[in-house]
């Protein structure tokens, strides 16, 4: 799903570390039982299918393409496709009364898979600067931008006015990230601490060595799950909306998908899914703030040249810590089976995402790489 033909030198080390990090990920994997509508067993379907062929490729089945190298949106572990996108897809499939098949499109041409009907829809698409063409964006189901993170043992996490803290607050950010660029523009240079990883930045925040951390809101919230007292307070720049992508030749699917996604959001399931992965307070910050709409995707001639989003350069380099706790959503489960393509097994639950990004193409037209991401338990 990524159209990045070149790789910055700073990213090459991530690929060298990938086998080791993948092994650590597998060893630390803890599955989370079930989530919304992982409906591969007819007994789990509580409503009749609301759409059929030709709106979907196979009668009774919604086939969704996800990128297994794009944690925490999607990842793989033990042959399972897992992550925010997988949970959202499962919830939408349940709303439509369909079984769910997840297809890993990380190693293929996502645009071609969509246009040829090999998948009914793709996830993690952006409505602009996308390598996709002849497609419609349906969403958003999450938004992201550079976020301001704080440590508050009371759990209040009150929003602040950046202009009030810009001259005095000590902020940490990952070196070379877009968050670092924003910090240089908005905060006093003497008060900016550049770290080698998000783990280091959040450790400094937890230890009160800095007042705030700047990082991509979604990736940072996932990395910060190591600490119960850290959350994203607010977004600092224009958010990027994350959507489904549906082929324009599959127009009959657009309206039902829009309605199903809106039901997932308005019914509270989206908040539970985001809270499971990002923490309750951070989930509220990145939750969609507008009604679900559909609009033509405005592509670029070369997706690899699209401007990177705030998540592009985040390298969520974190190790497993003993103080990970299960989110409240982990006790909310609806079991079923999700068929996965491009993986070797079928899973009976949707679990938490772990993985390592390599050079692939993206429906976002941006490159989000992590040398590792935090396993949540």
- Contact (CB, 8 A) for 374 and 76: no
Q: Quick one: 13 and 138 in the same domain?
A: yes
Token representation of residue 374: 């935090």
- Residues with Cβ within 8 Å of 178's Cβ and at least 6 positions away in sequence, in order, are 146, 216, 308, 309, 310, 312, 313
**Do 208 and 250 sit in the same domain of this protein?**
no
User: Tokens 């019914």 identify what position?
Assistant: 267
Helices (H), the chain: 9-28, 84-96, 110-115, 162-165, 178-186, 198-206, 217-223, 254-266, 269-278, 280-286
DSSP label of 124: E
Residues 33 and 175 in one domain: no
In the listed set 235, 250, 266, which residue is the last one of a domain according to the structure? 235
**108 - beta bridge partners?**
none
Q: Give the closest residue to 277 by CA, choosing from 142, 149, 154.
A: 142
Residues 206 and 228: their CA atoms lie apart, in Å, by 10
Q: Which CATH number covers residue 181?
A: 3.40.190.10
For 165, the domain range is 146-235
Q: Does 183 share its domain with 263?
A: no
**107 and 18 together in one domain:** yes
The total domain count for the chain is: 2
Q: Per the structure block, which two tokens stand in for 139?
A: 């969403």
From CA 342, how far away is CA 362, in angstroms rounded?
17
Closest by CA to 114, choosing from 368, 305, 297, 309, is 297
Identify whether residues 87 and 194 lie together within a single domain: no
- What pTM did the predictor assign? 0.74
**Bond preceding residue 140 cis, omega within 30 of 0:** yes
Q: Which residues of the chain have pLDDT under 50?
A: 1-43, 301-313, 315-338, 342-377
The string of DSSP letters for 141-190 reads EEEE-EEEEEE-TTS------HHHHTTT--EEEETTSHHHHHHHHHS-GG
Identify whether residues 231 and 255 lie together within a single domain: no
Kindly state whether residue 366 falls inside one of the protein's structural domains. no
Chain centroid, CA 180 distance in Å: 21
Whether residue 354 lies inside any domain: the answer is no
Do residues 98 and 160 share a domain? Answer: no
Sequence-separated (6 or more) residues with CB below 8 Å from residue 319: 24, 199, 372, 374
In a domain, 65, yes or no: yes
Examine the domain organization and report whether 62 and 166 are in the same domain.
no
pLDDT in the model for residue 294: 92
Question: Which of the 8 DSSP states describes residue 267?
Answer: T
| Within-domain flag for 348 | no
Q: What pLDDT is stored for residue 11 in this prediction?
A: 34
User: Given this model, what pLDDT does residue 341 score?
Assistant: 53
Residue 350 domain-assigned (yes or no)? no
* Residues contacting residue 259 through CB under 8 Å, at least 6 positions apart: 95, 292
Structural domain contains residue 364: no
Q: pLDDT digit string (tens) for 196-253?
A: 999 999 999 999 999 999 999 999 999 999 899 999 999 999 999 999 999 999 999 9
> Is 355 domain-assigned?
no
Co-location of 139 and 179 in the same domain: no
pLDDT (tens digit, 9 = 90+) per residue, 101-152?
A: 999 998 878 888 998 999 999 999 987 767 787 899 999 999 999 999 999 9
Q: Are 114 and 250 in the same domain?
A: yes
Residue 253 shares a structural domain with residue 220: no
Please give the pLDDT value at position 107: 82
pLDDT for the residue 339: 52
Give domain status of residue 316, yes or no: no
């Amino acid at each position: 799903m990524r159209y990045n033909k070149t790789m910055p030198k700073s990213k090459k080390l991530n690929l060298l570390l990938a086998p080791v990090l993948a092994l650590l990920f597998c060893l630390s994997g803890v599955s989370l039982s079930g989530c919304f509508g992982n409906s591969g067993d007819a007994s789990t379907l509580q409503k009749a299918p609301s759409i059929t062929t030709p709106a979907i490729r196979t009668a009774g089945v919604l086939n969704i393409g996800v990128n297994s190298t794009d944690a925490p949106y999607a990842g793989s572990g033990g042959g399972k496709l897992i992550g925010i996108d997988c949970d959202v897809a499962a919830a939408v499939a349940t709303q439509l009364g369909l079984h769910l098949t997840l297809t890993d499109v990380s190693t293929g041409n996502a645009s071609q898979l969509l246009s040829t009907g090999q998948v009914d829809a793709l996830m993690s698409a952006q409505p602009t600067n996308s390598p996709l063409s002849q497609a419609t964006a349906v969403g958003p189901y999450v938004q992201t931008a550079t976020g301001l993170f704080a440590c508050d043992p009371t759990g209040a996490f009150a929003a602040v006015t950046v202009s009030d803290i810009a001259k005095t607050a000590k902020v940490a950010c990952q070196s070379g990230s877009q968050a670092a660029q924003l910090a240089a523009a908005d905060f006093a240079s003497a008060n900016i601490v550049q770290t080698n990883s998000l783990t280091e930045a959040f450790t400094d925040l937890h230890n009160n060595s800095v007042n705030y951390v700047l990082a991509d809101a979604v990736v940072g919230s996932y990395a910060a799950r190591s600490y119960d007292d850290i959350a994203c307070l607010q977004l600092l720049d224009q958010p990027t909306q994350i959507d489904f992508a549906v082929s324009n030749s599959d127009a009959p699917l657009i309206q039902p998908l829009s309605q199903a996604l809106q039901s997932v959001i308005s019914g509270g399931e989206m908040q539970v899914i985001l809270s499971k992965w990002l923490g309750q307070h951070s989930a509220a910050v990145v939750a969609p703030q507008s009604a679900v709409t559909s609009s033509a995707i405005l592509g670029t001639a070369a997706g690899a040249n699209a401007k990177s989003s705030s998540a592009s350069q985040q390298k969520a380099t974190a190790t497993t810590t003993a103080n990970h706790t299960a989110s409240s959503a982990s006790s909310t489960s609806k079991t079923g089976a999700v068929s996965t393509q491009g993986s070797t097994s079928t899973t009976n639950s949707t679990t938490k995402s772990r993985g390592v990004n390599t050079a692939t193409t993206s429906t976002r037209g941006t490159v989000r790489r992590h040398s590792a991401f935090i396993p949540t338990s």
